[in-house]
Amino acid sequence: MADGILSGLRVADFSRVLAGPYATMALADFGADVVKIESPAGDDTRSWRPPVDEAGESTYFGAVNRNKRSVVCDLATPEGLAAARALAETADVVVENFRPGVMERFGLDEDSLRAANPGLIYCSITGFGRAEGAGLPGYDLLVQAVGGLMSITGAPDGEPSKVGVALVDVLTGQNALAGILLALRERDSTGVGSRVDVDLLGSLLAALTNQASSTLATGRSPGRLGNAHPSIAPYELFRAADRELVLAVGNDRQFAAFAAAIGLPELAADARFATNEERVHHRAALRAVLEPALAARPAADWVAVFGAARVPAGLVNSVGEAFAFADSLGLDPVTTTADPATGRTSRQPATPIHLSTSPAVHRTPPPLLGAHEPQWLDAVRPSTERTTR
């Protein structure tokens, strides 16, 4: 059993693709024993390639499955189903993201398991909930569309655009993690487990924050502003002499410092730009003044100038440049794990959660399919280290 603040916690992970595995990897990073239960074909993302890592494994799968054990259970066979049930009945947490009704068909639903495991935390992840939306397929792109995110993403005169990563899945995975930890805290007090339900659409709507609140308050849905902000200016992308940079001027004090740094201190006294509200109203006029001034120097020069003036600004980095930037700040953004048996290694983003007394431990690379079958009997044997229910 691994060390960590969640050491002794067993997770039966029936989830696939991204939202569920994202949540269970976070639990594993802090010491939970996460057993990933896969079909004979494996998690769908094992076949989502290219790209692949040095061992030829899918980098998509690798992104959210470190620190886990993999066992194959064919739920269509009595043997596979019995093994999966044995694990679920000895687990502290079950996580699943099948279509509603699938786990019931196999007798792996919450009600079926709770009689044998009253302290179980049962986390169910769906696309659109368990009521009228139960039959709808929960794909991130689809939810970005029907959930309104694409309507506010992209250029004003262009087509709606998705975000460059499956953001809704990630947000839902974070909500699942939070829900599981809340349920575990409740179990500490009551001794009884509970159900955690999260869905992609609800996670997205909650994450729309200010765009959602403005819609609910005014009855008007916002449109696309490209890289501009609906309530702050200048807070968008600009072109310097060689490449793009962003400005994130969040208040009037910062704007005065920005105007001085750019060599146009009079802008701070201009009635059109003196306050944030006026700058938002006169966004186009402000941009017309700033564009030629910013185009006079390279972006890195401006970032240095604005940094000295304590004005938020930055380059538009590639993903590789972003990791290098984080590393230059001492954030240690990359972790490398190695399989002691095979020497296989994997480089992944490190967990962003830092605990001073019980830090995350990145122990093992994402498992090969069924790699832990020899330990299966141990996986379903109750652990004396687990929380007493």
Q: Tell me the per-residue pLDDT of 261-299, one tens digit each, with 9 for 90 and over.
A: 999 999 999 999 999 999 999 999 999 999 999 999 999
| C-alpha angle 4-61-335 in degrees, rounded to nearest 5 | 45
Active site annotation includes 109: no
pLDDT in tens, 219-249: 999 999 999 999 999 999 999 999 999 999 9
Q: What are the pLDDT digits (tens) for 31-53?
A: 999 999 999 999 999 999 999 99
Amino acid 61: pLDDT:
96
Confidence of residue 87 (pLDDT cuts 50, 70, 90): very high
**Is pTM, for the whole model, over 0.75?**
yes
Number of Cβ within 10 Å of residue 195's Cβ equals 15
56-65, 130-139, 292-301: range with lowest mean pLDDT: 130-139
Section 73-88 average pLDDT: 94
pLDDT above 80 for 385: no
Mean pLDDT, the chain, as a whole number?
Answer: 93
- Of the pLDDT bands very low, low, confident and very high (cuts 50, 70, 90), residue 306 is very high
pLDDT at position 384 is: 44
Per-residue pLDDT, 382: 52
For residue 371, what pLDDT band results from cuts at 50, 70 and 90? Answer: confident
Using a pLDDT cut of 90, give the percent of the chain over it. Answer: 89
Say if residue 389's pLDDT is above 90.
Answer: no
How confident is the model at residue 330, as a pLDDT?
Answer: 96
pLDDT score for 166: 97
Q: For 72-82, give one letter per residue: b (16+ CB within 10 A) or e.
A: bbebeeeebbe
Query: What's the whole-number mean pLDDT along residues 132-148?
Result: 94
Calculate the alpha carbon distances from 250 to 16, 24, 232, 247, 334 in Å.
40, 36, 7, 9, 30
The reported pLDDT for the residue numbered 3 is 80
Selecting among 13, 33, 169, 199, the annotated active-site residue is: 169
- Between CA 278 and CA 280 the distance in angstroms is 5
User: What residues are paired with 389 via a beta bridge?
Assistant: none
The per-residue pLDDT for range 150-192, each reduced to its tens digit, is 999 999 999 999 999 999 999 999 999 999 999 999 999 999 9
> Residue 386 has what pLDDT?
42
Domains with residue ranges and CATH for the chain: 10-208+332-380 (3.40.50.10540), 244-315 (3.30.1540.10)
